[in-house]
Amino acid sequence: MLAISDKTEFGKSAIYLLPVAGGTPRLVTRNLPSYWHGWSPDGRTVAYCGIRDQVFDIYTISVDGGEERRLTHGEGRNDGPDWSPDGAWIYFNSSRTGRMQIWRIRPDGSDVQRVTDSSYGDWFPHPSPDGKHLLVLSYDGEVFDHPRDLDVRLRLMDPEGGNARVLFELFGGQGTINVPNWSPSGEAFAFVRYWPA
């Protein structure tokens, strides 16, 4: 199955499941808007950013549908969730301390921990399949949002935020690594590179 975010007839994003071979998408989220970001390791749950009453928070929901589970509670903007490969953590970015940084939370909503405390604005964390690395999109610190037309850095670090290093800089931003992008072996990852107009 593929998970996708697409606009409904009401013009707001929802999460759908779609068979890999094609077919009719099945609506998973009824509360809108909802933006898909990651699968649980067992493939039974999706994590996403939901905007409810203008508040960005992290949610999960079973692929069978049902009630969504809210994990964060409106402390800043919370976005970009992705699971650790062992299912113990959901990593996400949050502006709860003023600058967008990487955090993690247990799938039951407990034990929120800050992962990065950098001069960058860090977005869209993606744990590697072996759990040894975290790939992050980083803007200069004064950039609050995630526009698609700025120089950004792809940084690699430990799952706890240590040993961070810049892999390379590119022109990009929104859409560069929004969703999970590691190869199954963990030896490579995919990203989108924009070219200035």
The pLDDT mean for the chain works out to 93
Provide the pLDDT for residue 74: 87
Percent above pLDDT 70 for the chain: 99
Q: Report the predicted TM-score, pTM, of the whole model to 2 decimal places.
A: 0.94
Q: How distant, in Å, are the alpha carbons of 97, 114, 160 from that of 71?
A: 17, 15, 20
Domains of the chain, CATH where assigned: 2-172 (2.120.10.30)
The C-alpha angle with vertex 85 and arms to 127 and 103, in degrees rounded to 5, equals 45
pLDDT tens per residue, range 49-81: 999 999 999 999 999 989 999 999 988 999 999
